Structure 1
Amino acid sequence: MHSLHDPLAQIRAINQTAAFNRWCNMEVISAEPGKVEIAMPWRPEAGQYAGFLHAGLVGALIDTACGFAAATVVGRVLASHYSVNCLRPAVGERFIARARVVKPGKTQVFTACELYAQAGGAEKLVATGETLLSVVTGEVA
């Protein structure tokens, strides 16, 4: 499944295997070696009590985009740590996560991401995040 020749097809295929991503309606917009952009439309089930995108989903979008960016460079990865900075309430019609590999390695990959909310043609930065991913070799126990 890992093909550096067509990262967009590779990441879209991975995205379709994840039931959670399908439930969220996550879509892979673009993918190139070391960079991925994903989107998710707003839906009420994704909101918290005040009607903002739930911080858990903010983290999920950042984690997913970062994992996909790493996968374009090293193949299978698992998150070992991630952090999220919520900068403002995530309110919008659609959310876009743009992730990039900061430093690839043989066993670990460092990535960073910005999450934007789109509404009425405008785009606002709502969160940033970083992940440390472990490269998967062999079976995952």
Structure 2
Amino acid sequence: MIDTLRKVNASAAFNRWAGIEVSAVSEGEVELRLPWRDELGQYTGFLHAALIGGLIDTACGFAASTVAGNVLASHFAVNCMAPAIGEAFIVKARVVKAGRKQVFTVAELFAEGPQGQRLVATGDAILVPVEARA
């Protein structure tokens, strides 16, 4: 499963540009890592909210795909709880409920630094199964 998601991750131009890495996968669960680079920051040096949303969306989508195949987000929400500043960022997502037409997921984003991991954002997404593109 991890090899499949690593291939999918490598095929996404945004994920390659950002530097998103697939670090762990199990049925209904995914963990991604993003090493910090200056170009990922906003004007005060924190991780940009666009990247926070992108990490949560990607992790939730990957978690859903482990139980439902190809999926597309129909809704996602992000809650920024603290400034996202760290040496790397870890997002953990899991499937809450997988139905035939919708998959409900949640995620937590942690900033990793010298003092360990600190929760900086949470999110949730609803994903729908879709046919693979030809």
Instruction: Kindly provide the CA deviation profile for residues 37-94 of structure 1, in whole angstroms up to 9, marking residues without a partner as x.
Output: 0000111111011100001100000000000000011100001110000000000000
2:77 corresponds to 1:83: yes
Q: Partners in 2 of 1:61 and 1:138 — Cα distance?
A: 22
2:4 maps to a residue whose letter is Q
1:68 aligns with 2:62: yes
Q: How does 1:108-127 map to 2 (within 5 A)?
A: 108-127=102-121
CA distance in 2, matches of 1:109, 1:22: 25
Q: 1:34 and 1:138 mapped to 2: Cα distance?
A: 19
Letter in 2 for 1:83: A
1:35 and 1:121 map into 2 onto residues whose CA distance is 25
Q: What number of residue pairs does the alignment pair up?
A: 134
How big is the shift at 1:138? 5.7
Whether the aligned pair in 1 keeps the contact of 2:70 and 2:132 (CA below 8 Å) is no
Give the 3-state SS of the residue equivalent to 2:59 in structure 1.
helix
Selected match of 1:54 from 31, 37, 48: 48
61, 86, 95: which one aligns with 1:92: 86
TM-score (norm 1): 0.92
Supply the RMSD in Å over aligned alpha carbons. Answer: 1.2
- Could you list the runs of 5+ residues in structure 1 that have no partner in the other structure? 1-6
Q: Letter of the 1:67 partner, please give it.
A: G
